[in-house]
Amino acid sequence: MNHDIYDDDYIRGILDSMKTIAMVGASPVNVRPSYFAFKYLAQRGYDMIPVNPGQVGKSLIGKPFVASLDDIDRAVDMIDIFRNSEAALPLVEQALKMTPRPKVIWMQLGVRNDDACALAENAGLKVVMNRCPKIEYGRLSSEISWMGVNSRTLSSKRAPVPTQGMRLSLHRVSVGGGDTAAADRAARLKDDKNNRS
Amino acid sequence: MTDRTPGFATLAIHAGAQPDPTTGARTTPIYQTTSFVFNDADHAASLFGLQAFGNIYTRLGNPTTAVLEERVAALEGGTAAVATASGHAAQVTALHQLLRPGDEFIAARKLYGGSINQFTHAFKSFGWNVVWADPDDIASFERAVTPRTKAIYVESIANPSGSITDIAAIAAVARDAGVPLIVDNTLASPYLIRPIDHGADIVLHSLTKFIGGHGNSIGGVIVDAGTFDWSRDNKYPILSEPRPEYHGIKLQETFGNFAFAIACRVLGLRDLGAALSPFNAFLFLTGVETLPLRMQRHCDNALAVAEWLAAHPAVNEVNYAGLPGNRYNELARKYAPKGAGALFTFTLKGGYEAGVNLVSNLKLFSHLANIGDTRSLVIHPASTTHSQLTDEQKIQAGAGPDLVRLSIGLEDKEDLIADLDQALRG
């Protein structure tokens, strides 16, 4: 499938059906994007597991760190990769050995590894690359609209007042695909540049 | 549920707005409050640390204003938007994220006179140096590029001349130079031209004009196209490097393709302070719902009045890009096929004095310094909006002394023509 653009339905389906997420590369430093995303997803009701070998023995907002995917004691629906793109391939290999297997490999904003993606997809997993689950959840629920961000969704329904720990409805009408035409252009420009160099 | 892309008119009404969660109010309420309570200390810390989505203080963001911001971002095809207290505030807030003392930006000579003033004089004290180029000569932009260039700035339809800018050609210059193209889209509105579709990286508006449409509020907005890679070559450290006041957050790394809008909000609005009033945001929201209807009527009326004036014996020349034979007609058909806007200028055979007489004889047209009102407006730029420029700058800006500018409103076109007819007869 095309990993430059995702349909909102694809992202919505993943975020709606996932319950347990292992975040590889979760940082305890509270200005790192992984910390933001970890905390936000935990507050939206996901069972979050921080994976970071350098932090074992400590916890992230009350969730104990584990050293690797092998050390997780329960079924994981999704692996969120907050590492560099090269690290994605061995992580997918490791994920495919887990029992039961995770259903989704999610690579963070700026992380893309097409070989790792192909390996996971051939094994029947869904893959998202170069996206942030916090941003996508905020966008599809329109919670991100507080920041003047274009959620690219519409709704004429009254939404509940969001409270701590509440899962939000992601079922608004999508305006377009998984990305704006403008952002696609940025991706293309980057590709052009890579092809030239 | 199928993903269907709604049309412009649907977005103009619905984007960003949904019934109020607490009351069910269908129209976006006016949240006329300075501040918002936190759930607890952790929630407060998360909001201040940019970790959570939510409201803190109206200088940084407001629920009424946020609806307007998302609305404009959707209409322009951008990733996010930030509203400001005026169009001028949008310019200084946007450029403050890009330029440091000693830096340069290239701007089209044909700009709103107030922008020329701001760029020439106010920005000089920041150490930002404007370098002028001619929008009718694309090579002049290429020649102006230096290692200190940080942005290129043009108007989609230039004020007051009504000339159309070849946005795609200038976007190519910006791309080669590795700098963002900023387009002031005030005169076109996204109904006529969407600069992002033609390569713009940042779009600005004076909301005061067509988006508000009713001449009742001052405001501006910055739209982030999400297209520019700010971290590519360390030219934009505000976006690519750790921010000390946010404990080392890197904005592009954290916020991706809406990082520029976040910078304008959490640094620009926070520190420069030019936030839009929630009440004005509400008035703009009411206006923008009818933008497509109004803009089409503005264009249809403008074309009818321009055609009538072009045939009038007292008129020397009508400069409206919508008229066949105008030097900008080809660009108008490419960039603004639905119409060339509400604004145009013309010169009278009787020169300066005939222009002054016309302005004083008109009974329906209002003589004032604004554009994009429901009402038809007339002004003599040389003695008003562009009066602080030198004679040479006036001519370069398309505001010569014998020139009258019209902003055609939404009245019956027959009444506008009758008013001009009686005023020209004196």
Residues of A in contact with B75 (CB under 8 A): none
B253-279 average pLDDT score: 96
Instruction: Please identify among residues 53-92 of chain A the ones whose CB lies closer than 8 Å to any CB of chain B.
Output: none
Give the pLDDT score at B405: 92
Distance from CA of B291 to the nearest CA of A (A): 18
Closest chain B residue to the Cα of A130, Cα to Cα: B256
Q: What is the mean pLDDT of chain B?
A: 94
The verdict on B267 and B145 lying in the same domain is yes
The verdict on B274 and B297 lying in the same domain is no
Give the pLDDT score at B47: 87
The verdict on B248 and B225 lying in the same domain is yes
Q: Which residue has the higher pLDDT, A195 or A32?
A: A32
Q: Concatenated DSSP letters for A3-44?
A: SSS--HHHHHHHHHH--EEEEET--SSTTSHHHHHHHHHHHT
Where residue B181 falls among pLDDT bands split at 50, 70, 90? Answer: very high
| Bond from prior residue into A100 cis (ω within 30 degrees of 0) | yes
pLDDT above 50: residue A178: no
The verdict on B258 and B318 lying in the same domain is no
| Within-domain flag for B3 | no
The verdict on B260 and B356 lying in the same domain is no
- Within 10 angstroms of residue A184's Cβ, the number of other Cβ atoms is 17
Q: Domain ranges in chain A?
A: 8-196
Please write the tens of the pLDDT for every residue from B16-55: 999 998 899 999 999 999 999 998 888 888 888 888 888 9
The verdict on B104 and B25 lying in the same domain is yes
A interface test, pick of B53, B84, B265 with most A CB neighbours within 10 Å: B53
Closest chain B residue to the Cα of A193, Cα to Cα: B232
Report yes or no: A111 and A88 within 8 Å, Cβ to Cβ.
yes
The verdict on B264 and B299 lying in the same domain is no
Instruction: Show which of B252, B287, B322 is a domain's final residue.
Output: B287
Give the pLDDT score at B391: 75
Write out the H or E segment, with its range, that includes residue B153: strand B149-155
CA-to-CA distance for A6 and A28, rounded, in angstroms?
A: 30
| Residue B80 touches chain A, beta carbons under 8 Å | yes
CA-to-CA distance for B73 and B59, rounded, in angstroms?
A: 19
Please write the tens of the pLDDT for every residue from A155-171: 998 887 777 777 888 88
Domain range holding B231? 8-287
- Within 10 angstroms of residue A57's Cβ, the number of other Cβ atoms is 7
Classify domain A8-196 at the CATH class level. alpha beta
Percent of chain B with pLDDT over 90: 82
Q: What is the CATH number of the domain that holds B372?
A: 3.90.1150.10
| Within-domain flag for B1 | no
Instruction: Show which of B242, B260, B287 is a domain's final residue.
Output: B287
pLDDT above 80: residue B2: no
Please write the tens of the pLDDT for every residue from A25-38: 999 998 899 999 99
pLDDT above 70: residue A181: no
| Angle at B58 (CA atoms; ends B57, B59), nearest 5 degrees | 95
The verdict on B283 and B176 lying in the same domain is yes
Instruction: Give the number of domains in chain B.
Output: 2
The verdict on B63 and B196 lying in the same domain is yes
ipTM: 0.88
Residues of A in contact with B69 (CB under 8 A): 148
Instruction: Show which of B271, B287, B303 is a domain's final residue.
Output: B287
The verdict on B314 and B238 lying in the same domain is no
pLDDT above 60: residue B124: yes
Residues of A in contact with B4 (CB under 8 A): 173
The verdict on B204 and B76 lying in the same domain is yes
Q: What is the CATH number of the domain that holds B76?
A: 3.40.640.10
Give the pLDDT score at A191: 55
| Within-domain flag for B304 | yes
| Within-domain flag for B357 | yes
Instruction: Please identify among residues 111-150 of chain B the ones whose CB lies closer than 8 Å to any CB of chain A.
Output: none
